[in-house]
Amino acid sequence: MLGFIESSHELLHKRGYRLTPQRYLIIYVLEEAQGHLSIEEIVECVQQRNPCVSQSTVYRTLELLREVGLVRENHFLGEAATYEAVDGNAHEHLVCRGCHTVLHFDPALPANLREQLEQQYAYRALKLDLVAVGYCDACWKSSSAT
């Protein structure tokens, strides 16, 4: 399996887009963060490495990457959007209401759910996007201590 950056290059190319230095940088930042970055954070990280990259480029690139499916946009707890690199099919998130930590959980757990849904509702090419919101152990304890 190719790395995220290589497969991005390939996919963009296949669709007639170029992997420009700006796009590379944005992809690189997303890949490196391995997590959920807000637009603001992305702009910050990118400009830290190359201050000439403009905000509009970040917006345009994220839209492009989302379009081709390389990047996923999340809205947890009603907060501002965050972005993350899409590696495979697994997008399972555990979000803590207390500390706002986002954990990626084992994609095997909901594995058969997809098949059930496809069969039962006659939907095709389903991608699951599962967010479980609750309290992690630490936050649960500290909140009940209050």
Partner DNA sequence: GTTCGTGCAAATACTTTGCAAGTCG
Partner DNA sequence: CGACTTGCAAAGTATTTGCACGAAC
| Partner that binds at residue 142, options DNA, a copy of itself, none, CB closer than 5 to 8 Å by kind | none
Structure tokens at 15: 């669709």
Q: 23: closest CA among 14, 13, 33?
A: 13
The smaller minimum CB distance to DNA, of residues 55 and 89, is found at 55
Q: x/- binding map, residues 105-134, to DNA, per CB under 7 A?
A: ------------------------------
The residue among 138, 135, 118 whose CA lies nearest residue 127 is: 118
Q: Does 53 bind DNA (CB under 7 A)?
A: yes
d(CA 1, CA 130): 24
Q: Does 55 bind DNA (CB under 7 A)?
A: yes
Q: Residue 2 and residue 113: Cα distance in Å, rounded? A: 27
**Residues lying near DNA in the complex (CB under 7 A):** 12, 16-18, 20-23, 39-40, 52-57, 59-61, 63, 80-81
